[in-house]
Chain A
Amino acid sequence: MNRSIPSLVFRICLGVLILTLVGALFRLQVVRGGYYKKIAESNFVRIRRVVATRGEIFDSKFRPIVTNIPSHNLYLTSGKIANLPALGKFLSANFAIKPEDLRKLVVAQRFKTYEEILLADNIPYEKVLTLSERLDEFPELTFHNGTTRSYGYPNHFTGYVGRIDEKEYLLYKDEDYSLNAYLGKTGLERYYEVLLRGTDGKEIIQVDASGKSLEFFRENISVPPQNGLSLVLSIDNDLQSYANDVFPAGRKGCIIVTDVKTGGILAYLSKPDYDPNVFMHSISPEVWAELNSPNRPLMDRIIHASYPPGSVFKPVTGSKGLETGVIDRNTHLASCVGGMRIGNRFFKCWTSRGHGSLSIVDAHRVSCDVFFYDLINRMDLDAVYAHARACGVVDKTGIDLPNERDGFYPNTAYYRDQRKIRGGLNGYKANLAIGQGEVLTTPLQINTFFAAVARDGLWIQPHLLVSTIGRSRITREQVQPLHKHRLPWKASTLQIIHDALWAVTNAPGGTARAINVPGTTTYGKTGSAENYMGKMTHAWFTGYIVTDKPEIVVTVFMENAGGGGGVCAPVANKIFNYYIGNLKRIKTPAPIPPQFRTEEDAPPAEQTPPEVPPEVLPAETPPEEAPQ
């Protein structure tokens, strides 16, 4: 054996280190082994997730649209299962959970057997009471109180939440979603998931069966959950409910009411609709069949479908004519004799009586098709295509809802490359001019375009969110800046289109004379679009009213309902009149409800005096005024 000093030093070091470890291990495993065994068997020491409360959704007056309500949920701790067949029987009898699903769940949870997994939610309270006694047989099952969502009324914008599914879990588990998590599946619930969700907290469990603290951790430090932010929308519940009332029963279509000043949406109604609350429980086969009926109540007709716009598209074509200088206010184009010949085909106007030769304002007023046939064929298709895009009727508007659809407007390349058309395009162009043929728009695009016209040419991204409220207040601009741009229109173009839209609702022979709102100037355009879905035309009306300034844009759309002037304009008229009748109430901002008030929101009377010391103001102001 080597006896040099270094060897000795190394041997001593090794001896000390190994003996220290052996001593510590002896103390831990032999002396206190039984104690730790007990702890390990009971899983007394662990971290539990404290679920954050999801933010609620309010209308512009802080009236609830989506709220949280208490619910009772059943959880399983798979590590405690004693008798799997018996548990399977119990669950299939009472909660319709199949034994093989249960087994799959247990296998899936194999790495987290101490964690509770949600088995069934929103269990009726009576059932909780009757089953509570039987739970003694199954220590692996526990009831916990939680919250679930309650949706104020059927609609298409709130969307709904649902239990996270396997795919979503794999996608989002790094963002701290648990297997028991709920997340927004559609609508605002999904779009603003990040804001609504909050951050789950953590809690340390370190008590034994008798509730005595095991004192592994010096303090019971826990991280409290941070509740989600609540949303305040631009929606006005009264207006929304009124729109719902005046929408003709049995019709399919939508109503959009937008505040011209902000671009915020005041009413967002798509019919037929569905009640999001049905997704909070297990869905019965009847309800499921109803949701998937040919009426397609789940489809949001405002943004998830695009339709031929028909004559409401004419201002897009007309404004391009004015911009390029092909026409001016007084240019009279081809005379309408109930239609006109283009190439070897006769293109009909909507009435066979004929309108004669018209100027742009009158062509809008009586919605003459021939004027626009002639106009577009004096222009380049690709220039009109670019113009339509600039008007915002082709691309997504970017509303704060998921899965918005594009509109469609063809260009030359489309006809040449995809449709393989070699010959002249004049016939196709004629159809495009009046919003027929290949052109498709969503009702929201039309509404947003007319809002931009009403706003003297400023296009603002339509939106529902005004601000968040709760833990912090973030305005929509801070969440995501609103996109704005000017329509490429000269002031004169704007003025002529305004006059044209005014004539539609006011001048004799206008197609929307049903619009009559005392105390305001009204503007609008009707549309009756032929389509492949049925014999009747799609009915459109979109228009706006101006008091001392532009107020609201209303778009009413009904699938296969007939003429826009006859079907949709009266509905829009009611909404305009309701708005004007309740103008003061709708425009007065509501006070912030007490639960959301912070110190800064305290009524001015309480806070102003301490801010401005009384002796400062009177003492300083008079000497300043005296020399003057």
Chain B
Amino acid sequence: MISRRKFDFVLAAYLLALIVMGCVAIFTATTTSIGDFTATQNNWWKQIIFSALAIGTILLLLRLPMPIFDLLILPAFALNILLLILVLFTPAVNGSHRWFSFPGFNFQPSESAKILTILLVAKVISKQHLSEVRQILYGAGITLLPVLLIFIEPDFGTTLVFMFSLLAMLVAAEVPLIYILLMVSPVVSIVSSLWWVAIVVWILGLVYLLLRARLSWIAISITASINIFLALIMPVFWNSLKNYQQDRVLSFIDPLRDPLGAGYQIIQAKIAVGSGAVIGKGWLQGTQKNMNFLPERHTDFIFSVIGEEFGFLGSLLLLFVFTLFFLRLIHDQGELKIKERKIASAGILAYLMFQTFINIGMNIGLVPATGIPLPFISYGGSNLLINALAVGVVLKYINERGFMI
């Protein structure tokens, strides 16, 4: 039941604001105007229908009794894993098997897998009397299942989202930060292997931090040697890759190496955002957009349309609303007292935050193009539905707080 006293109207308002901004952005992104000529595709009202559906689903979720909600998580997760397996057998779109296509909309099972994995991990690692090592192992184990399947699709960007939210959940589970450091240390070692000075500084720093955490000498030496080994083996491994494999990795990190494909999109998006300057070109007046330079401009690259037409001020406004929204989520996460719900909302917060950063960063050339849409803003029914549902889960947790705690 929805309790007016406990319901978080502030978070709901921010969510609604973001969805409205998304519909407006989609309207202008799918509208072309040249002189007196204007034409709009039908996407914006489709998005409005999906928004209404999403809000309706949140309301249903709020009314769902908590025990039933808890019971549903595991079967839904299992079903989702099955869908992730099935999706591998669908015909490839742009070289990857990510979508089930239905007339009118597409469904991406990796979207729903995000929220379900978060809920299941939270459920498992919040069990009492689990040691920290077990929490890490169980969390990683559950996450690895969808991650591997999504990696095969392939959809590298989405697997990163899973990793990021797992880390956030472990933080929320109050696993000591030093363990988190241990978890990410191999990744840092691999990245730092590009430059020998970085390796030396990183390994020394790591050992120092481990010493300060008063870990046993055995643990420290094992960690250090694994990391040194990884850093040293990387160049050897890299050179054993075939040329085209190296190219593929390099193009992911640096899309400008592939100027006719991903690089072209990023360059055009960057020009669009940059040319918006301080105040933007005005409503419907984006030239990059109108001349069709911008690819995928109502989905992954919608931020470039916002940047072009509303300029730095418009971009700041959007970032401001996102910041308020995330701060509110962090606040709510802190308010929750039940461990499972605390952990789950941390995962939800992290996945939305990470996606927002990655998508905007991609639009302005900061991070590689990964095919991750901007939450609540990008066009896409299933995507909007899942993201809204994730916020709905937090709203539900807040709403289900006991009177005393």
Say whether A associates with B: yes
- Chain B 331-354 against A: per-residue CB contact (8 Å), 1 yes, 0 no? 101110000001000100110010
- A590 at interface, CB cutoff 8 A: no
In the complex, what residues of B have CB within 8 A of residue A221's CB? Answer: 259-260
User: Is there contact, CB below 8 Å, between A204 and B307?
Assistant: no
A82 nearest CB across to chain B (Å):
11
A220 nearest CB across to chain B (Å):
9
B277 nearest CB across to chain A (Å):
3
- A9 at interface, CB cutoff 8 A: yes
B244 nearest CB across to chain A (Å):
16
User: Residue A25 contacts which of B260, B308, B312, B333 (CB distance < 8 angstroms)?
Assistant: B312
Inter-chain CA distance A79–B342, complex, in Å, is: 54
In the complex, what residues of B have CB within 8 A of residue A33's CB? Answer: 274-278, 311-312
User: Is there contact, CB below 8 Å, between B292 and A111?
Assistant: yes
- A28 at interface, CB cutoff 8 A: yes
In the complex, what residues of B have CB within 8 A of residue A113's CB? Answer: 34, 290-292
In the complex, what residues of B have CB within 8 A of residue A41's CB? Answer: 275, 287
In chain A, positions 102-125 with a C-beta closer than 8 Å to chain B are 106-107, 110-114
B14 nearest CB across to chain A (Å):
14
- B116 at interface, CB cutoff 8 A: no
User: Is there contact, CB below 8 Å, between B174 and A40?
Assistant: no
User: Is there contact, CB below 8 Å, between B267 and A11?
Assistant: no
Inter-chain CA distance A214–B315, complex, in Å, is: 26
Known: A35-B274, A36-B274. A24 touches B312 (CB 8 A): no
Residue of chain A at shortest CB distance from B267: A216
Inter-chain CA distance A106–B331, complex, in Å, is: 54
- A209 at interface, CB cutoff 8 A: no
User: Residue B319 contacts which of A10, A22, A218 (CB distance < 8 angstroms)?
Assistant: A22
- A415 at interface, CB cutoff 8 A: no
Inter-chain CA distance A1–B350, complex, in Å, is: 19
User: Is there contact, CB below 8 Å, between B319 and A21?
Assistant: yes
In the complex, what residues of B have CB within 8 A of residue A43's CB? Answer: 291, 293
On chain A, the number of residues with a Cβ less than 8 Å from chain B's Cβ atoms is 51
Residue of chain A at shortest CB distance from B313: A29
Size bin of chain B's contact surface: 35 or more
User: Is there contact, CB below 8 Å, between A18 and B323?
Assistant: yes
In the complex, what residues of B have CB within 8 A of residue A70's CB? Answer: none
- A223 at interface, CB cutoff 8 A: yes
In the complex, what residues of A have CB within 8 A of residue B346's CB? Answer: 6, 10
- B121 at interface, CB cutoff 8 A: no
In the complex, what residues of A have CB within 8 A of residue B51's CB? Answer: none
Known: A21-B361, A28-B270. A11 touches B330 (CB 8 A): yes
In the complex, what residues of B have CB within 8 A of residue A218's CB? Answer: 256-257
User: Is there contact, CB below 8 Å, between A29 and B349?
Assistant: no
User: Is there contact, CB below 8 Å, between B32 and A111?
Assistant: yes
In the complex, what residues of A have CB within 8 A of residue B271's CB? Answer: 36, 39-40, 45
Known: A29-B307, A113-B290. A7 touches B333 (CB 8 A): yes
In the complex, what residues of A have CB within 8 A of residue B302's CB? Answer: none
In the complex, what residues of B have CB within 8 A of residue A39's CB? Answer: 271, 274-275
In the complex, what residues of B have CB within 8 A of residue A13's CB? Answer: 353
Residue of chain A at shortest CB distance from B320: A18
B261 nearest CB across to chain A (Å):
10
User: Residue A6 contacts which of B34, B174, B308 (CB distance < 8 angstroms)?
Assistant: B174
Known: A9-B171, A43-B293. A217 touches B276 (CB 8 A): no
Residue of chain B at shortest CB distance from A21: B360
In the complex, what residues of A have CB within 8 A of residue B274's CB? Answer: 28-29, 32-33, 35-37, 39-40
A408 nearest CB across to chain B (Å):
42
B288 nearest CB across to chain A (Å):
5
In the complex, what residues of A have CB within 8 A of residue B34's CB? Answer: 78-79, 106, 110, 113
User: Is there contact, CB below 8 Å, between B312 and A29?
Assistant: yes
Task: Identify the interface centre among A6, A45, A47, A78: most chain B CB within 10 Å of its CB.
Answer: A6
Known: A36-B275, A46-B293, A223-B260. A25 touches B37 (CB 8 A): no
Known: A30-B278, A36-B274. A204 touches B315 (CB 8 A): no
In chain A, positions 1-55 with a C-beta closer than 8 Å to chain B are 1-2, 4-7, 9-11, 13-14, 17-18, 20-22, 24-26, 28-30, 32-37, 39-41, 43, 45-47
Inter-chain CA distance A113–B33, complex, in Å, is: 11
Inter-chain CA distance A113–B287, complex, in Å, is: 10
User: Is there contact, CB below 8 Å, between B259 and A110?
Assistant: no
In the complex, what residues of B have CB within 8 A of residue A46's CB? Answer: 293
User: Is there contact, CB below 8 Å, between B275 and A40?
Assistant: yes
In the complex, what residues of A have CB within 8 A of residue B308's CB? Answer: 40
In chain B, positions 302-324 with a C-beta closer than 8 Å to chain A are 307-308, 311-312, 315-316, 319, 322-323
- B364 at interface, CB cutoff 8 A: yes
User: Is there contact, CB below 8 Å, between A29 and B366?
Assistant: no
User: Residue A29 contacts which of B39, B257, B311 (CB distance < 8 angstroms)?
Assistant: B311
Inter-chain CA distance A13–B270, complex, in Å, is: 25
- Chain B 262-296 against A: per-residue CB contact (8 Å), 1 yes, 0 no? 01100110111111111000000001101111000
A16 nearest CB across to chain B (Å):
9
Residue of chain B at shortest CB distance from A17: B357
Known: A5-B174, A29-B315, A204-B259. A45 touches B168 (CB 8 A): no
User: Residue B312 contacts which of A9, A30, A34 (CB distance < 8 angstroms)?
Assistant: A30
- A202 at interface, CB cutoff 8 A: yes
User: Is there contact, CB below 8 Å, between A29 and B277?
Assistant: yes
Inter-chain CA distance A25–B303, complex, in Å, is: 11
- B82 at interface, CB cutoff 8 A: no
User: Is there contact, CB below 8 Å, between B330 and A10?
Assistant: yes
User: Is there contact, CB below 8 Å, between B277 and A14?
Assistant: no
Inter-chain CA distance A202–B259, complex, in Å, is: 11
Task: Identify the interface centre among A13, A25, A114, A223: most chain B CB within 10 Å of its CB.
Answer: A25
User: Is there contact, CB below 8 Å, between B361 and A10?
Assistant: no
Task: Identify the interface centre among B257, B277, B308, B365: most chain A CB within 10 Å of its CB.
Answer: B277
User: Is there contact, CB below 8 Å, between A14 and B360?
Assistant: no
Known: A30-B277, A35-B274. A10 touches B260 (CB 8 A): no
Q: Supply 10 A–B pairs (Cβ within 8 Å), ascending by A.
A: A2-B335, A10-B349, A21-B364, A25-B273, A30-B278, A110-B39, A113-B292, A114-B291, A217-B256, A218-B257
Residues of A within 8 A of B (CB): 1-2, 4-7, 9-11, 13-14, 17-18, 20-22, 24-26, 28-30, 32-37, 39-41, 43, 45-47, 78-79, 106-107, 110-114, 202, 204, 216-218, 221, 223
Beyond A10-B330, A37-B275, A47-B264: 12 further Cβ-contacts under 8 Å?
A: A10-B171, A13-B353, A21-B357, A22-B319, A25-B319, A29-B274, A29-B307, A30-B278, A32-B274, A111-B32, A221-B259, A221-B260
